[in-house]
């Protein structure tokens, strides 16, 4: 018999398709997160029902056939979420137990765009790919070549992979939605960024004003902390979000609140704070699940949007 677990999976699958493939969401992120959390709790209570096909076990969505597939060397995973400070503290406690000591942490704004992997070789940008389903992404190199904020040449010759967030500044989003030639307005800057990046014609992407912040150096360069790797990326010419900084555990909640207060004051949308273990050796020690690394968590800000009629419909499925 079709029950609540099946109904939630169906609904989340439909919402993910609209969000990732059509760039036209049918639920707000807050609505999606409430339903997702309900499914996680039901699966936790009924572990026999967990299957690989559940939205809780997957990342993103399969790549579109419009673009050539790119197999990621290291999977581009998701990030687990927490929604209040008690859950955040529980995450730090869990890490401290795993490591046998409290880790040094690093806090960054969670930019509301989409993840991009950039591969360089011989100092030249060779390939840019979206996350896709985490394993296989979409080759968007020609489009990314039109984005000024992405360095095309770097002063480093060996193979190097850089990951970060491609996003549409609020000002560019507002200008885009005023464009009378647009078929339909975009729901938010995240969907507008995804729609602008995943264009068949790079000239359309070029006209949209996309921007990029790097947040991850994948290839092993001589860095022992995340902080050093961001400094190194900055020295190569990558833009780093200016509020990214190390944080002591005792100051973590205060820092999260400070960053929350910045919301609305910046020219880019953020939906939370990403808290990461700063030591790269400690990251290896704690590892990842199939869906998300254990060394990073996203503290989601309280939603700005109202929970709407759609949620009432969704909840009654």
Which residue ranges make up the annotated binding site? 29-33, 78-79, 108, 131, 165, 276, 300
CA distances from residue 228 to 138, 153, 216, 222, 288 in whole angstroms, order as listed: 29, 21, 11, 9, 22
Single out the residue of 88, 115, 136, 256 in contact with ligand NAD (rule: CB under 6 A). Answer: 115
Stretch that binds ligand NAD, among 103-111, 143-151, 219-227, 247-255 (CB under 6 A): 103-111
135 in contact with ligand NAD (CB under 6 A):
no
Pick the binder of ligand NAD from 11, 15, 160, 230 (CB under 6 A).
15
Please check whether residue 145 is in contact with residue 105, taking contact to mean a CB–CB distance below 8 angstroms: no
**Would you count residue 110 as binding ligand NAD (CB under 6 A)?**
yes
Binding test (CB under 6 A) with ligand NAD, winner from 8, 11, 23, 29: 29
Burial class from Cβ neighbours inside 10 Å (0-12, 13-18, 19+) for residue 52 reads exposed
Which neighbouring-strand residues pair with 138?
69
Q: Binding to ligand NAD (CB under 6 A): which residues in 141-200?
A: 165
Query: Closest by alpha carbon to 113, among 62, 186, 56, 40?
Result: 186
Binding test (CB under 6 A) with ligand NAD, winner from 215, 295, 299, 301 = 215
- Measure the CA–CA gap between 283 and 19, rounded to whole angstroms: 30
**Least distance between ligand NAD and beta carbon 180 (Å):** 26
**What's the closest the beta carbon of residue 61 comes to ligand NAD, in angstroms?**
8
Query: Which CB sits closer to ligand NAD, 180 or 242?
Result: 242
CA dihedral 21, 211, 186, 271 (to 10 degrees): 80
Q: Is 23 in the site for ligand NAD (CB under 6 A)?
A: no
Catalytic residue among 110, 152, 183, 200: 110
Question: Between residue 55 and residue 74, which ones bind ligand NAD under the rule CB under 6 A?
Answer: 59
Cβ at position 191, least distance to ligand NAD in Å = 9
Q: Which residues pair with 150 in a beta bridge?
A: none
d(CA 88, CA 86): 5
Annotated catalytic residue 183: no
C-alpha separations of 213 from 118, 122, 308 in Å: 12, 22, 32
Nearer to ligand NAD, 107 or 172 (CB): 107
**Residue 53 burial class via C-beta count within 10 angstroms: exposed 0-12, middle 13-18, buried 19 and up:** exposed
CB closer to ligand NAD out of 7 and 207: 7
105 binds ligand NAD (CB under 6 A): no
The least CB distance from residue 148 to ligand NAD, in Å, is 20
In terms of CB distance, is 103 or 207 closer to ligand NAD?
A: 103
Return phi, psi of residue 215, to 5°: -135, 5
The β-bridge relationship of strands 160-167 and 136-138 is: unpaired
Name the residues that contact ligand NAD, by CB under 6 A.
15-16, 19, 25, 27-29, 32-33, 59, 78-79, 81, 108, 110-111, 114-115, 131, 165, 215, 274, 298
Looking at the annotation, which residues are catalytic?
A: 110
């Amino acid at each position: 018999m079709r029950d609540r677990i099946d109904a939630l999976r169906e609904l989340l699958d439909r919402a993910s398709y609209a969000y990732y493939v059509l760039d036209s969401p049918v639920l707000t992120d807050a609505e999606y997160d409430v339903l997702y959390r309900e499914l996680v709790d039901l699966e936790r209570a009924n572990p026999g029902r967990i299957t690989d096909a559940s939205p809780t076990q997957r990342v993103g969505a399969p790549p579109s056939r419009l673009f050539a597939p790119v197999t990621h060397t290291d999977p581009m995973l998701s990030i687990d979420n927490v929604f209040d400070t008690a859950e955040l503290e529980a995450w730090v406690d869990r890490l401290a137990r795993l490591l046998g000591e409290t880790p040094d942490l690093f806090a960054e704004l969670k930019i509301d765009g989409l993840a991009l992997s950039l591969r360089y070789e011989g100092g030249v940008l060779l390939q840019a790919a979206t996350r896709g389903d985490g394993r296989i992404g979409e080759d968007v190199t020609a489009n990314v070549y039109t984005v000024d904020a992405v360095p095309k040449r770097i002063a480093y010759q060996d193979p190097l992979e850089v990951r970060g967030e491609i996003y549409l500044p609020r000002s560019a989003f507002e200008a885009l939605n005023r464009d009378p030639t647009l078929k339909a307005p975009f729901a938010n800057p995240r969907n507008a960024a995804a729609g602008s990046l995943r264009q068949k014609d790079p000239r359309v992407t070029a006209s949209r004003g996309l921007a990029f912040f790097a947040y991850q150096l994948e290839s092993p360069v001589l860095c022992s902390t995340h902080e050093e790797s961001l400094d190194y990326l900055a020295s190569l010419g990558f833009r780093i979000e200016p509020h990214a900084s190390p944080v002591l555990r005792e100051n973590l909640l205060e820092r999260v609140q400070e960053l929350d207060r910045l919301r609305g004051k910046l020219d880019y949308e953020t939906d939370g704070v990403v808290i990461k273990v700063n030591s790269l050796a400690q990251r290896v020690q704690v590892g990842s699940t199939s869906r998300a690394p254990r060394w990073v968590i996203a503290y989601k800000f309280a939603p700005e949007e109202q929970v709407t009629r759609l949620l009432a419909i969704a909840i009654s499925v």
